[in-house]
Amino acid sequence: MKVVIQRVTKASVTIERQKVASINNGLLILLGIVNEDTAEDIKWLSNKITNLRIFNDENDVMNRSLKDINGEAIAVSQFTLHAATKKGNRPSYIKAAKPDVAIPLYEAFVKQLETDLGKTVQTGEFGADMKVELLNDGPVTIIIDSKNKE
C-alpha cells in the first residue's frame, strides 16, 4: 500500500456536485493498493499514519500525532499512485489492484484507521470521479509505502 498524506486545515470530497466528506484539522489520505497488499500492510500503515508526529506542539515543533490532536481524516482511494511512468508518456496502472481486490482492502484500511483513531474516518467513493479540495497546512505532504518498512 502506498499513501500520500497531507496535513490540512480543511479538506473535502465532492462527487457529482454533492459534498460527501469534509474535515477540518487533520489528514487527507490518498491510498493506492496493489494485489500483494495484506492485512499486515493495513495494520502497519494505519498505525504509522495515526502516530506520525507531524502536527505542531505549543513550541511550533512537529511533535504531535493525529491522535494527539484529536484530528480528523479523509481516506480517498487513488489507483494512480501506482502509475508506472518509465516508458513512454502514458502512465500504466497495471500494478494497481482491480476493484475485487482493492475494495475490500480499502474498506478494511478505513475500519483499521477508525479503530486506531477512535473516531469515524470520512471517505470518498471507490472508483468515483471525485473532486478533492484541500488547504495543505505547512505545506506538509508525506509519501509512505508499506513495502518500504525498513
Q: Calculate mean pLDDT across residues 119-145.
A: 96
47 SS3 class: helix
Residue 141 Cα distances to 65, 103, 150, angstroms: 14, 25, 20
Q: Alpha-carbon distance 85 to 76, whole Å?
A: 22
Q: Calculate mean pLDDT across residues 59-80.
A: 97
- Residue spans per domain, the chain: 2-145
In the prediction, which pLDDT does 149 show? Answer: 79
- Residue 25: partners with Cβ closer than 8 Å, 6 or more residues away: 8, 9, 10, 55, 69, 71, 72, 137
Element (H, E) at 76: strand 72-77
Asked if the model's pLDDT at residue 64 lies above 90, the reply is yes
Q: Calculate mean pLDDT across residues 6-33.
A: 98
Q: Calculate mean pLDDT across residues 20-47.
A: 97
Q: Calculate mean pLDDT across residues 55-77.
A: 97
What pTM was computed for the model? 0.95
| pLDDT tens, residue by residue, 136-147 | 999 999 999 999
130 near 80, Cβ under 8 Å? no
- Residue 107: partners with Cβ closer than 8 Å, 6 or more residues away: none
Could you please state the CATH topology (level 3) that the domain comprising 2-145 is classified under: D-tyrosyl-trna(Tyr) Deacylase; Chain: A; (3.50.80)
* Alpha-carbon Rg for the chain in angstroms: 15
| pLDDT tens, residue by residue, 102-118 | 999 999 999 999 999 99
Active site residues: 80
